[in-house]
Structure formats: C-alpha cells, structure tokens
Amino acid sequence: MAATSTSSGRCQGVPRLLLLSLGLALLLPPTPTSCIDFEQILGQIFSKVATQVFQKGELELLDHICSYTTKPHFYSWKMYYRCSIWCPGWTPIVGQASGHRRAMTARIEATKDFVKKAVASGLVTEEEADPWL
C-alpha cells in the first residue's frame, strides 16, 4: 500500500497573503533613515572604557593622603593591571604591583608593597602597618 500525501505543494498553515507581503517587502528598497554618527558613538564607548580601565585617585594610607594610578597592559591576548601608589610630601617610596587580572587586586597589592617598604625603611612600625598587610 503506497503512502498518499494530502499536500499539493502549498505551504500549509501559512497564509498566502503573509508570504506575498514578505516577498514584496524584501524587493522594495530600504527607506532612508537618519545618519548614524559613528564618531560620536565610538567616542562615547572609548570614554566609558577609559574611565573604567584607567583609574587615578587618592586614598588615606597610614594617616597620609596618597595617590594611585591603575593602568591596563596586555600579555598573551589577556588584559592585566599594574598599579602604583605614592605619598607626595611624605616619602619617595612607591608601591607597585603588576600582572593582576583585576584593577582592585592590583591596587591592594601595590598598597601592601608600599606598606612593606615603609616598614623596611623605618617610617612606620609593624603594628601600624599590620591592618594594611
């Protein structure tokens, strides 16, 4: 017994009018739209990325106002951060850290490096430095 097909080559369940409308829509030229200012869009994106990636600021460290900068660098197609912390007007010591995947981790490690150097130079005692280590 041969299987019989009730389909006569038509799309079942899809109205012909919908298919005809879609076909005509594809044949018509696109309507003009307002011009997109890619320069403005790229500028906004770059500005947002720059404020998230490059960080500068101040923090209170061992009762002194200190400055820090955090910058990205790439190694093996991955982004890492390096950070420097210094306290102008107090000491020429610079705490540094690099090779960290997160900016906050780089800042924490640079702070620890600064505090260890301050203890080694005799600027602060180990008891004063303990909360930062």
What CATH number is associated with residue 98?
Answer: 3.30.160.320
The residue assigned the tokens 């190694």 is 75
- In this structure, of 1-5, 19-23, 51-55, 114-118, the range with the lowest mean pLDDT score is 1-5
Give the CA angle between residues 44, 49, 53 to the nearest 5°: 155
Examine residue 107 and state whether it is found in any structural domain, yes or no: yes
Examine residue 25 and state whether it is found in any structural domain, yes or no: no
pTM over 0.85: no
- Domain coverage including residue 74: 54-132
DSSP 13-33: TS-HHHHHHHHHHHHSPPPP-
Examine residue 100 and state whether it is found in any structural domain, yes or no: yes
Q: What is the pLDDT of residues 39-77, one digit of tens each?
A: 777 677 666 666 667 888 899 998 899 999 999 888 888
pLDDT higher than threshold 50 for residue 1? no
Confidence at residue 15, expressed as pLDDT on a 0 to 100 scale:
59
Examine residue 87 and state whether it is found in any structural domain, yes or no: yes
| Number of domains the chain contains | 1
Examine residue 19 and state whether it is found in any structural domain, yes or no: no
pLDDT higher than threshold 60 for residue 3? no
